[in-house]
Structure 1
Amino acid sequence: MMTIETLEPATIQQALFQNPDEHGYYGSFGGAYIPEMLQRNVAELRAAYLEIMDEPSFKQEFNQLLKDYVGRPTPLFYAERLSKELNSNIYLKREDLCHTGAHKINNTIGQILLAIRLGKKRIIAETGAGQHGVATATVCALKGMECIVYMGEKDIERQAPNVARMKLLGAKVIPATSGSKTLKDATNEAIRDWINNPIDTHYIIGSVVGPHPYPDMVARFQSVISKEIKEQLLEKTGSENPTHVVACVGGGSNAAGAFYHYLDELDVQLVAVEAAGHGIYSGMSAATTQLGKPGVLHGSKSLVMQTKDGQVVEPHSISAGLDYPGIGPLHANLFKSGRGVFLSATDEEALEAAFHLSKIEGIIPALETAHALSALKNLELTPKDVVVVCLSGRGDKDLATYMKAMGL
């Protein structure tokens, strides 16, 4: 695997990873590959999103809601016992303490404010683990908007608590019954809905995937995570920069947020952890960077798990939020360029890491987050290293899976 050290110095100096070009490309990945019916919507969004996000009234409302509604800033917790075990300094960015229990709310608040300013009346979303669906339903309830959430039939079964939360918040949850009945299929259904309702509907995509400008827009809304990390680390250690930032990656929104303000800080190693399922080459995996090839999925060019003739390969992960056959174009570029280090964790390794953190730090993480935690043992850490792990969500939603694993 290429690392940042293997890039030529001139290449490193010229490479800016944070923002896409004017056409939405991060290197050779990105763009907008969409049906004609959606051209108007996407063009409208692309023309307006940066200007709206820069308006003083938008900034004021967004930041006020992050503070008073979401509960930001989230703590940066020094995990003392975990640090002793690894003979290093491990900090956990506690996105699990956000309102609704995950980082997803940062993006949905931003997008609902954007949708209102664009005059949209109806909101649709896709969800895998259910956290993005809950976050979307939450902000729709807050702002009095109609909310439709598409969710794979398989994910509805394994994430029942979040389905109940969405319905309690007033959302209509529609099952996706095609394909693997997971996140990919829910996204397909949401896009079909958007094609059929292009005028009054805004699609709140939950990750750094989809046609430009979604990957950039979602990354910007989630960048509050790394902004806070910088401020909190400076206070705690005297330096804004850790040696490593570690995050799980499916589509990659929590990783994009945790990495964002460090993307062009080349002394910070960015570590992304994918879901290996039953094993990378087992045929039941979601390790896209290891198994994927360039292709188009859900409106952008990225790395996609696919057959030789371009058919999407069904992914597998014990965590619904990582059960996706692609990866955001930002992350595909980090992988291809060598700026990011991409590791993976199996279902069993994720479960082991979740149980371990629960027992030694009193924090029950989401299964998605557990993949990132599992990778810590594979890093060659020293007592001088400062490692920040994005604890993207809490484990309440995964309790049934944990109970099954414990034989309860």
Structure 2
Amino acid sequence: MAEKQQVVIIGGGILGLAIAHYLQNSGEAQVWLFERGELGAGTTSQAAALLTRARSSDSAALMVHETHSTLRMLEQRFNLPFAQRSGCLHIASQAHEREQLLRYSQQAQQLDVGTQWLDSSDIQRLLPWLAITADSSALYYPDDGHADPYTLAQLYARSARAAGAQIIAHCAVSRLESQGGVFTGVHLASGEFIRADSVVLAAGPWSAALAYDYDIALAMAPVRSHYWITNNQPQVDARQPMAIIPSAKAYFRSEQSALLFGVRDSQCCVADPRALPHDIHSFHFAEDANGWLALEEHWHNLLALCPLLEQAQLAHYLSGVSSYTPDGKPLLGRLEQHSNAFVATGCSGAGIAFSGGIGRLLSEQILGKPTFVAAEEFSPARFATLQPPADPMSAEFRQHCARARSGKSTG
């Protein structure tokens, strides 16, 4: 029997745990995962967690498709159904938006994902609180939805542990041991050394600062993602589908009887990765700390689109950190500077939806197997010739990453 590859994963958020799930269940790896805090309690827990299948590329759609398949398997295995599969409407009111919906429809057909075309009366029936024009149409994904990200992270962890993975919380990695362009292992804060055949950096927005210590410049920046939740509204029902409306740069979903909504604002709130505290929930961006400027920018359009906001109370405002790249696609795969080092980060607000696909892709890459998607699309090396250079410590480059969020149109 071949000896198992020993893989050390740094970071116990949803990506690190998904990778641990796939690797350990392959039977070909022994996983050691270290998380300095609680599992899944960092930026994972801040996500709106939209599990939308419509994506800008076929490879991205495959990643989300894998997540849906794995989520169903985990729900059945642990007898814990928790995903809210209420569906999702992608609403178009302009010609170029309808063309994009047609591409999404073709993408869905290739994956055997059911969709339906809806007219404005169908949309109004499903979402009575939405005010749309008579010429609006939508592509409806009945099986899309959202899921509690913390619960999904815990299920990845349970699966990996059941297969024999060593997943250790409240255990910080103090430094990596490097010899001849190879990471040979990690030193823990306790002083213990853990040998590694491969090392995976999956530390979310902290990955950039960690990698920089080893002369690795990850093309990503910590960018603000945020959303609001109203008080309970009689027109809102948990069974109603989500809505993504590119023309308004907005999305909506129910939160039981309240309405959760977010906007792609132009504020470009971004941070120096070295300034992020261990407790991400104590962090606030210096610009527009309470989100009022972002809300003011879109408030007129939001009221026209969703009139109930005029009388609803905004009960909650949640601001979190997402790791954005210049093209809005994640950084996944082997690092050129160290032959046995891999990275999984920079998901640009899609980490929950991509998690299963990322777990599978990284597992295949680490074990030297053919990949189920075109991995080059997500390669960390794709920004090698970028101008300005990909330097996460450069304020100019970080603004470049922040603009990717402003232009985002998918879930």
Relative to the length of structure 2, the TM-score reads: 0.27
More strand by share: 2
More helix by share: 1
Relative contact order higher in (CA < 8 Å, ≥ 6 apart): 2
Higher Cα radius of gyration: 2
